[in-house]
Structure 1
Amino acid sequence: MRQNKAVMQTLQSLIEKLQREAVEEGQRQAQAITAEAQAKAIKTVKEAEAKAARILEQAEQDAKAFTERSTRALEQAGRDLLISVSQGVESILAGLVRESLQQALTPEVLREILLKMTEAYLVRGGRERRMTVWLSPEDHEQLVKYYAELYRQRLAQGVELRIDNEVVRGFRVAMDEGHIEHDFTLEAIAEALTYYLQPHLARIIPRTAPKLSQEG
């Protein structure tokens, strides 16, 4: 009986020992799993933070590049607008100058201008040998009679009026057998006036273009 009791106690002790060892092993495994999970979690967080930092850095670089491209595009658009406005205004100005000159250079005005030039030529004794004036067919028809009556004899001495179909309005003058020539045609005067007014436009347009850009 005593022997059975001793055996039972031994078995009980063995069972308790096995239970303790099983519990301890389970705890060790649980701790190992927890530590591994924590390590993986920390690693995952660090990788996520690093990835987020790379994405943020790339986004900042992309934003900077986009801003630079946008700035260059806006600057180019501003230059294009300024050039377009300048060309448009110059074209309008040239048209207005030409239209004004076409109205101003009437046969009466041409007659007065040519009269002064002819008188100056005759006062100098025609030392340029000969003065030839090229006119449009329309102006030639109206002026030749006037000059023929006014300087009938002197015209024969060296002042000659000729027709030039390329002249729309105004005239060209040649002296000293063509070595000296002055262009007073509509095109030449308009070009000279437009060239003279361009510096004024250059000061006006840069102030005007931004306003046009804002309105657009």
Structure 2
Amino acid sequence: MKNDEITEINLNSLLDRIQTEGIQKAESEAAAIIKDARDKADLIIATARQEARVISDENEAEIKRREASLTSRLTQTGRDVVLNVKGGIIALIDNILQHKCRSLLKDKNLEALILRVIRSWQAEDKTLNLEILVNEQERQGLVDELIAAFQQQAENGIEVKGHPDIAAGFRFGTKGSHLYYDFTDEAVAETIAQYLRPELAALLAGG
């Protein structure tokens, strides 16, 4: 074999080898690039999924928090409404009591009650050294009634005064003591209400 032929064969073999190795290297590099790209893509996808789960968890937690807050507000609003209704009913009962007491502690009823109190007081204190406070419009009629019932004692020992803050009923006490037993409509209604309120509150509470 001639030297030229040998040289050509060696050259062709070298070219084939270079080509083969180049292709293999290119394929290897391409595979590495593809793998790297896939790894990065997988990482991006995994990160995105994790972030999505975090956002989802946060959204779910926020939704639950808002639901709990809304439920709490609705519950409190319901309680406030119930308390307001109960308070309104109790206030209404108080007003009815006071109105009823006011209508009862006037005119002849008032006169009869005061006469009864004075007679009970007279059993302990013969002097009837009393001061009676009444509504200003009731004063004169009451004075006349007391004079008719107790004559001289009423004229000398019992003093009846009109008081602007008394709508109905009366207060009485020993002259000069400034201490009075309170039988006004407000005081009587409040006394009755103190007995009624616990029962009414229990009734409204379902007890």
Where on the TM-score scale, by shorter chain, does this alignment land: which range?
A: 0.7 to 0.9
Q: Does 1:168 align with 2:194?
A: no
Deviation at 1:68, TM superposition (A): 4.1
- Give how far 1:201 is off: 3.4
Determine the structure 1 residue equivalent to 2:51. 51
Residue 130 of structure 1: how far off its partner (Å)? 1.1
Which is further off, 190-199 or 64-73? 64-73
Output one character per residue of 1:153-178: Cα deviation in whole Å (capped at 9) or x when no partner: 23145233222222111100112642
- Partner Cα separation in structure 2 for residue 123 and residue 13 of structure 1: 149
1:32 paired residue number = 32
Give the Cα–Cα distance (whole angstroms) in 2 for the partners of residues 68 and 126 of structure 1. 73
C-alpha displacement of 1:32: 0.2
The structure-2 alpha-carbon separation of the partners of 1:178 and 1:162, relative to structure 1 and needing over 3 Å to count, comes to same
Alignment partner of 1:154 is 2:130? no
SS in 2 for 1:66: helix
TM-superposition CA deviations, 1:11-36 (whole Å, max 9, x none): 43233222212221121012101210
Once residues 124 and 27 of structure 1 are traced to their aligned partners in structure 2, the CA distance between those partners, rounded to angstroms, is: 128
Q: Which residue of 1 aligns with 2:196?
A: 197
Task: Say whether the 8 Å CA contact 2:134–2:162 is kept in structure 1.
Answer: yes
Aligned equivalents of 1:125 and 1:28: distance in 2?
Answer: 127
Alignment of 1:1-216 (within 5 A): 5-126=5-126, 130-156=129-155, 158-175=157-174, 177-178=176-177, 180-206=179-205
Q: How far apart are the structure 2 equivalents of 1:109 and 1:10? A: 144
Three-state SS of the structure 2 residue aligned to 1:162 is strand
- Tell me, in whole angstroms, the C-alpha distance in 2 between the residues paired with 1:66 and 1:205: 32
CA distance in 2, matches of 1:108, 1:204: 36
Equivalents in 1 of 2:66, 2:111: separation in Å?
Answer: 66
CA distance in 2, matches of 1:173, 1:24: 123
| Offset, 1:5 | 4.7
CA-CA distance at 1:72 after TM superposition: 3.8
Scaled by the length of structure 2, the TM-score of the pair is 0.82
1:205, distance to aligned residue in structure 2 (A): 3.8
Q: Percent identity?
A: 24
- CA drift of 1:183 comes to 0.5
Do the aligned partners of 1:94 and 1:194 also contact (CA within 8 Å) in 2? yes
In structure 1, the residue corresponding to 2:167 is in which secondary structure?
coil
CA distance in 2, matches of 1:62, 1:134: 67
Q: Distance in 2 between matches of 1:126 and 1:162?
A: 21
Aligned residue for 1:172, secondary structure, equals strand
Return 5+ residue gaps in structure 1 as ranges: 208-216
Per-residue deviation at 1:95? 1.9
Question: How many equivalent pairs are there?
Answer: 206
Read off the aligned partner of 1:182 and give its amino acid letter.
Y
